[in-house]
Amino acid sequence: MFGTILAALDGSPRSENALAKAIDEAKAWKASLHAVYVIETGLFSSIPLDNTWEVIFGLLESQGKEALKAAEQKAAAAGVEITPHMTQGHAGNEILKMAGKVGADLVVVGSHGKSEIDRLLLGSVSSYVVKYSTITTLVVRS
């Protein structure tokens, strides 16, 4: 039923659980698996484009690389090959764009990310993906 699966990562425990579920689904369906980490640049719209922005962006990029590397290791341990992707922009939009780019027929996301404050300020990325996705979306709550 599923040939290509996209897991959205942000380094939070819920996204790690979503990745584990995506790995299970990829094994069950013998599907290709992709993981995407989005650097949420919308958070920086009020920060002047100077060294401060570069430092923050560099930190988030480093966290993304670590999350994707950990995903590769976790998938490899389960015998699943994963293709990592990193992008920047609005997380919900970028997840959906990546799903289209890789031809995903299942998107797996955690119910919320690193911070409850993010959810209050930005709205839930998972809610956005569920609302606007044209393909099956699995929200992992635990």
CATH of the domain at 69: 3.40.50.620
The encoded tokens of residue 61 equal 């990029």
Write out the residue range of the structural domain in which residue 12 sits. Answer: 4-140
The encoded tokens of residue 84 equal 């990592």
The count of structural domains within the chain is 1
Task: List, for residues 67-123, the tens digit of each pLDDT value.
Answer: 999 999 999 999 999 999 999 999 999 999 999 999 999 999 998 665 555 544 445
Distances (CA, A) of 113 to 36, 42, 47, 52, 124: 14, 16, 22, 24, 8
pLDDT tops 60 at residue 130? yes
pTM of the model: 0.89
First to last CA, the chain: 24
What does the pLDDT read at residue 120?
47
